[in-house]
Amino acid sequence: MPVQLGVVGKPNTGKSTFFAAATLIDVKRAPYPFTTINPNIGVGYVRLKCVCKELGVKDNPRNSICINGWRFAPIELIDVAGLVPGAWEGRGLGNMFLDHLRRAPALLHVVDAAGATDEEGRPIKPGSHDPMEDVVFLEREIAMWMYQIVYKDWERVSKLIDLQRKYDELYARFSGLGIKPELVQRVIDELGLQNKRATSWSKEDVLQLVTAVRERYKPIIIVANKADLDPAEDNIKRMIKELGSRYKVIPTSAEAELALKKAAKAGLIEYIPGESDFKIIGGLKPEQERALEYIREKVFKRWGSTGVQNAIDTAVFDVLGMIAVFPVENEKKFTDHQGNVLPDVLIVPGDTTARGLAYIVHTDLGENFVSAIDARSGKRVGADERLSHRMVIKIVARA
């Protein structure tokens, strides 16, 4: 299953526009709160330098796309309804819908960096709301959501923990959020909670635990959207300055990215996602020309790119520390058994070993694993050796 990124934030910040731009799925988008009710799930792409040029081959990608030496590997995006302050207590659409985000190891927090919406997502004059407030609020809502999951039925659960002298019941709550027991244990130790009987843990103790676990194992990336609007410029500079040590802050214009992708699809322009410009190739109507000129002026000149691709790449590679590997069956020709050159690229955790990769490809391959070969050097890779980013690898297995 591809890695999933959750798209979250208060209403009306451009979450669905970001999702549509990344997946080209035509979801409902509108300038008012609670446009999205049910989650949208779709395939987006993470971008990396393909190995085709370096190896001097023409590739035939199967699970991915290669454009001008850039490989686009599939990831999954999930766009959910907007959160308002107090959602954890049932305000707005509540926070039950966050349950859809359990599987996502990282969250893209789409912020209205132009301050063009109030704390509930209602449109206001751009520049009149401070987007930094939204960062604080969202973190609290996410923490309260996790807190409710963990703290549910706490009296019974904490008694059981003390009785069994084991945290199994607690681990089970976190594993539902995709977080492994050993990681939870590490945070319990760090906070010194193991010295206290679970029945005497305060609400604050549990809140501190879920917050620390969330920060480490469900990181948030700030997508500073509507960066094309003038008031966003100062806000984004301030956000990078004040939040940059705790978060990656990526300026984006989801609206611009969506317009460019649509124009490219219609054959009006040439545009590679993530690039800092586009080329006009079709006949444009005056309003299309104006729209593209606006993007050049307000997005590319200011920020270098629309940021949508950058946000995904930053989340997957920098924040989650994942790597891309190219499995092949013929290590001399870099092909699969049908002769496709560099057919697949897999996005895997950064600590994946050769045997681990075999298991990711197929359980049978993992079980019959013998060794692996680094196709670039022709050298053997040990079963427990960690793979590196952009490695081309052949797995040798018993027939």
Ligand X SMILES: Nc1nc2c(ncn2[C@@H]2O[C@H](COP(=O)(O)OP(=O)(O)OP(=O)(O)O)[C@@H](O)[C@H]2O)c(=O)[nH]1
C-alpha span between 250 and 244 (Å, rounded)? 10
16 vs 211, beta carbon nearer ligand X:
16
Applying CB under 6 A, the span of 33-41, 263-271, 287-295, 333-341 interacting with ligand X comes to 33-41
Task: Identify the three-state secondary structure at position 396.
Answer: strand
Give the range of 32-40, 123-131, 177-185, 207-215 binding Mg ion by CB under 5 A: 32-40
Residue nearest to Mg ion (CB): 36
Cβ–Cβ under 8 Å, residues 97 and 81: yes
The verdict on 95 binding ligand X (CB under 6 A) reads no
205 Rama class: left (phi>0) / alpha (psi -120 to 50) / beta = alpha
Distances (CA, A) of 315 to 25, 34, 45, 131, 247: 21, 25, 12, 20, 11
Shortest Å, Cβ 165 to ligand X: 45
By a kind-dependent CB cut-off of 5 to 8 A, residue 129 interacts, out of Mg ion, ligand X, none, with none
Give residues with Cβ within 8 angstroms of 1, minimum separation 6: 76
Stretch 8-27 residues interacting with ligand X (CB under 6 A) = 11-17
- Candidate ranges 34-42, 209-217, 332-340, 378-386; the one touching ligand X (CB under 6 A): 34-42
Query: Exactly one of 35, 117, 252, 306 binds Mg ion (CB under 5 A); which one?
Result: 35
193 SS3 class: helix
39 binds, among Mg ion, ligand X, none (CB under 5 to 8 A by kind): none
x-marked contacts with ligand X along 249-278 as a string, rule CB under 6 A: ----xxx-----------------------
Among 4, 13, 23, 36, binds Mg ion (CB under 5 A): 36
Residue 371 host element (H or E): strand 369-374
Minimum separation from the CB atom of position 262 to ligand X (A) = 13
Among residues 225, 305, 309, 352, which is the contact residue for ligand X, using CB under 6 A? 225
Hey, what amino acid is at 42? G
Least separation in angstroms between CB 223 and ligand X: 10
Q: Is 33 a binder of ligand X (CB under 6 A)?
A: yes
Please, which residue, 85 or 366, has the CB nearer to Mg ion?
Answer: 85
Q: Tell me the H-state helices in the chain.
A: 15-23, 52-55, 131-151, 154-164, 168-175, 181-191, 203-217, 232-243, 254-265, 286-295, 301-303, 308-313, 354-361, 363-367
| CB-side neighbour CA atoms (13 Å) of 396 | 13
In the bound state with ligand X, the residue whose beta carbon lies nearer, of 10 and 173, is: 10
* Measured CA distances, 101 to 32, 56, 95, 97 (Å): 23, 41, 11, 8
Residue (of 315, 139, 320, 311) closest to 227 by Cα position: 311
Instruction: Copy the structure tokens of residue 345.
Output: 């690229």
- Residue 309 near Mg ion by CB under 5 A: no
CB of residue 235 to ligand X, shortest distance in Å: 13
272 binds, among ligand X, Mg ion, none (CB under 5 to 8 A by kind): none
Q: Which lies closer to Mg ion via its Cβ, residue 31 or residue 304?
A: 31
Q: What is the rounded distance in angstroms from the CA atom of residue 349 to the CA atom of residue 242?
A: 30
Nearer to Mg ion, 31 or 69 (CB): 31
314 touches Mg ion (CB under 5 A): no
The answer to whether residues 311 and 110 touch, using CB atoms and an 8 Å cutoff, is no
Among 16, 211, 253, 352, binds Mg ion (CB under 5 A): 16
Q: Residue with structure tokens 């907007």?
A: 82
Cα distance between residue 172 and residue 186, in whole Å: 15
**Binding residue for ligand X, selected from 6, 39, 82, 231, defined by CB under 6 A:** 82
Binding span for ligand X by CB under 6 A among 28-36, 170-178, 267-275, 376-384: 28-36
Q: At what angle do helices 203-217 and 131-151 cross, to 10 degrees?
A: 110
Residues of this chain that interact with ligand X (CB under 6 A) are: 11-17, 29-31, 33-36, 81-82, 225-226, 228-229, 253-255
Q: Which residues bind Mg ion (CB under 5 A)?
A: 15-16, 35-36
